[in-house]
Amino acid sequence: MNYWLIKSDPETYGWKEFLADGTTRWDGVRNYAARNHLRGMKNGDLALFYHSNTPDGVVGIAEVVREHYTDPTAKEDIWSAVDIKVHKPLKSSVSLEKIKADKRLKNMLLLKIGRLSVMPVKPEEYKVIMELAGME
């Protein structure tokens, strides 16, 4: 299993909407690196659901339930989407401030390429995030 981080502005599509929907298509990604990460996602992989913009932070966990396919919202067929479902909420969200403060996460891509909307997360980073969220 692989781990990922997916970012969404809560005013556009937030964790509350995702919880209500249960499943959704993760589409609209128009960055080549993020698209390539979407294409690397496999069924059963887990993704940290990250709210960007006030307040920033990981708020829940999603599970990939359909591997990449052509994004139906794109005019060109070079973009990809995946389907995800709610895996579980976190006991407490993990703010960007907490992530930056934890030395174990100093090499996390979120801190190095902050604008990227889809990125891999190392297993040890995922474990630290779960610890910070009170999940382990």
pTM greater than 0.75 (yes/no): yes
* Tokens matching residue 107: 């090499």
Spatial contact of 90 and 98, defined as CB atoms under 8 Å apart: no
* Tokens matching residue 87: 């895996």
> β-strand 80-95 against 46-51: which pairing, if any?
unpaired
Domain-by-domain residue ranges, the chain? Answer: 3-132
Does position 54 have pLDDT exceeding 80, yes or no? Answer: no
CATH topology of domain 3-132: ph1033 like fold (3.10.590)
**Banded model confidence at residue 97, pLDDT cuts 50, 70, 90:** very high
| Interacting residues of 26 by C-beta distance below 8 A, sequence separation 6+ | 6, 38, 81, 82, 83, 84, 118
